[in-house]
Amino acid sequence: MISPNKIEKNLEQTLQKDFPNYLVIRAKYLVPLTGLPINPNWRSDTHPLLEQIGVTAYGILKSLNFIYHRKRFIDISDFDQSFKNIYFHFGLIFDCVESLSRSILLIEQELGLIDINQKLKLTQQELINKYSDWVNIEYSKKYLDFIEKGKPIFFYPQNDHTYLSLIIRNPIKKNYNKFSRNIKDYRNFFIHNPGVDIFKEMPSGKLFTIKKEFVDKSKNWADLQFLFNLDKTYFEDPLNMIDNDLQSILYILNNIWSFLDLRLKKIYNHKKFSNLVRGFIREFDL
């Protein structure tokens, strides 16, 4: 067994306590199938989709490690940017989860285990129906946002987490969709409103950030000041927010990994799997 790398060692206690299914899949599949990155000189001469599984799984750990490291310094130095970067990495975790699920399903398709088009591709009539519903329900609101806030109008007939929806089941699917959307919206809020920061109340020195459910009320610094003076319950301690979101994401990831375990087992035990990886030689610099 390949020993844990530096990041895995940094997160060892957290993984054992809150994300144990990562360690299970690491031992059973990530190392033997993908040569999970061990050091900066790592290279993987393997099937591209297996390589992508290794890279994205490792990317989740890197973002978790960043969050754990940076949250310790929020109230010491550069707390505005540290807080924003932490939520960028929360968003990256979800991006990696969705990319990972896509790679797994594409391997299943190559092995003949699933027909992705049959599962995901919408017919012309289904697209027309979705667009008609969107126009009747959403377009007026989106148009007002376009006029008042300069936000472009987009129609999304399929979600970015569609691949993952074929792997996980409710209630984890419902929890994931809601939580990932909230996190991504919060991340995008800071990206598109650069004048909005977390702030320090004086003279107490306490830190505050706008809660996720109230971001539409605070598009600039003046809005924040007005809301804070109006009602402090619109705001939350940023460290508490990070800790709560971190526990939520670890819980969701651990449950998702139980589904991934089943999918990878099917791939690994498939009679055509050896043909899939034949000709590729996995090499590591240990």
Cβ-contact 159, 165 below 8 angstroms? yes
d(CA 262, CA 169): 13
Write out the chain's pLDDT in tens, 286 residues: 456 678 888 899 999 999 999 999 988 888 777 655 554 444 455 678 888 888 899 899 999 999 988 776 665 556 777 888 899 999 999 999 999 999 999 999 999 999 998 888 888 999 999 999 999 999 999 999 889 878 789 888 876 567 899 999 999 999 999 999 999 989 988 887 777 788 878 788 888 899 999 888 877 777 888 888 888 899 999 989 999 999 999 999 999 999 999 999 999 889 888 777 655 555 444 3
d(CA 238, CA 28): 37
Residue 69's pLDDT is: 82
d(CA 37, CA 57): 10
Helices 79-110 and 48-70, interaxial angle, to 10°? 160
User: Half-sphere exposure of 145 toward its Cβ, with a 13 Å CA cutoff?
Assistant: 11
Among 183, 180, 185, which Cα is nearest to 162's?
180
Cβ-contact 80, 240 below 8 angstroms? no
Strand partners, 210: 235
Helix count (H) and strand count (E) of the chain?
Answer: 13, 3
d(CA 195, CA 122): 40
Residue 37's pLDDT is: 54
Residue 20's pLDDT is: 96
d(CA 191, CA 185): 10
d(CA 49, CA 95): 16
Residue with tokens 């989860």: 97
Q: Which two tokens stand for residue 178?
A: 């809601």
Report the Cα–Cα distance between both ends of the chain, in Å, rounded. Answer: 12
- Which residues fall within 8 angstroms of residue 215, CB to CB, at 6 or more apart? 185, 186, 189
Residue 101's pLDDT is: 95
Residue 2's pLDDT is: 55
Render pLDDT for 115-168 as a digit per residue (tens, 0 to 9): 998 888 888 999 999 999 999 999 999 999 889 878 789 888 876 567 899 999
Q: What is the value of pTM for the model shown? A: 0.83
Render pLDDT for 174-192 as a digit per residue (tens, 0 to 9): 999 999 999 998 998 888 7
Residue 103's pLDDT is: 94
